[in-house]
Amino acid sequence: MELWIEEIQGQDVRLGLRSKTVLHREVSEFQEILVVDTLSYGRALMLDGTFQVTEKDEFVYHEMLAHLPLMSHPAPRRVLVIGGGDGGTIREVVRHPEVEEAILCEIDPRVTAVCREYLPSVASGLSDPRVKVLHEDGIAYIEQHEGAFDVILIDSTDPVGPAVGLYSESFYAACKRALRPGGIVCAQSESPFVNGDVVRRVSLSVKSAFSQRLLYLAPLPTYPSGLWSFTAGSDHELPRVVDKERAARLFTRYYTAAVHEAAFALPPFAAALVE
């Protein structure tokens, strides 16, 4: 019998991946955690029925969330990732030789443990000696750390449960306080096709705290609609052109200096969401 693992993406849309087997299933204190072995996307992590990471396309998301903001900073020494318990964003952060300390603040210790076991190619960065893994609520953590980080990355689940507060104005005001001068924040901000309201909400929250805001897009085949957005904020201008050699030394598969520059070209339908 065929095994299909589906994400229900609203009343009329589903994404189904034919799978070989379910490798792990548990219900943690925060969510249902499922790891499946799919035929076309490799192993996949699902939380509460939504695809978070697949081995085949995760590099696009993690590279675009991490490298655009880190390359926009002249010396990103201390970096905070909120959420991101799979480790993919941290793996990209530690590619930057300037990074001295990278802190992962993931609320659910079970996500980190399960990804270390079943998705080692994603979780590999968690073992870097510069990485400190904390299992705390990112909202409380950020309030307690003023002027501490050069870059803050928000790699959260959808705005439900403990992630709701990560989309608010007060959270971005706290991020601003937690940044050092010249600091940059960047968040995954959902799909411009399916979650226009969330794209807009994150944009307004970032704008309420920072003078500069950049909305940019990347293709993500296993996320709703296949097109995803990220929103960066800073009080310094985010550079359109970055050092090509510094970018080449990251040895990435999606992000390059040219992709960075192209990210500033926003299609009008997406720009209209945040105007």
Determine, following the binding rule CB under 6 A, whether residue 111 of this chain makes contact with ligand SAM: yes
Least distance (Å) between residue 20 CB and ligand SAM: 22
| Residue facing ligand SAM at closest CB distance | 83
HEC string for 138-206: HHHHHHCCCCCEEEEEEECCCCCHHHHHHHCHHHHHHHHHHEEEEEEEEEECCCCCCCHHHHHHHHHHH
List the one residue from 35, 46, 79, 82 that touches ligand SAM (CB under 6 A).
82
Which residues, 186 to 215, sit near ligand SAM by CB under 6 A? 188
Per CB under 6 A, the segment of 36-44, 105-113, 143-151, 171-179 that binds ligand SAM is 105-113
Q: Per the structure block, which two tokens stand in for 21?
A: 């087997």
For residues 133 to 152, the per-residue mask of contacts with ligand SAM, x marking binding by CB under 6 A and - elsewhere, is ----xxx-------------
Q: Decide if 155 is catalytic.
A: yes
Does residue number 108 form part of the binding site for ligand SAM (CB under 6 A)? yes
Of the candidates 37, 57, 108, 155, the residue annotated as catalytic is 155
Alpha-carbon gap, residue 166 to 170, rounded angstroms:
9
Residue 87: which of 60, 68, 105 has the closest Cα?
A: 105
The answer to the question of residue 157 lying near ligand SAM (CB under 6 A) is yes
| Phi (first) and psi of residue 50, to 5 degrees | -120, 135
Half-sphere exposure of 192 (CA within 13 A, CB side): 21
H or E, element range at 7: strand 3-8
Catalytic residues: 155
Q: Which residues bind ligand SAM (CB under 6 A)?
A: 30, 47, 52-53, 61, 82-86, 105-108, 111, 137-139, 155-157, 162-163, 166, 188
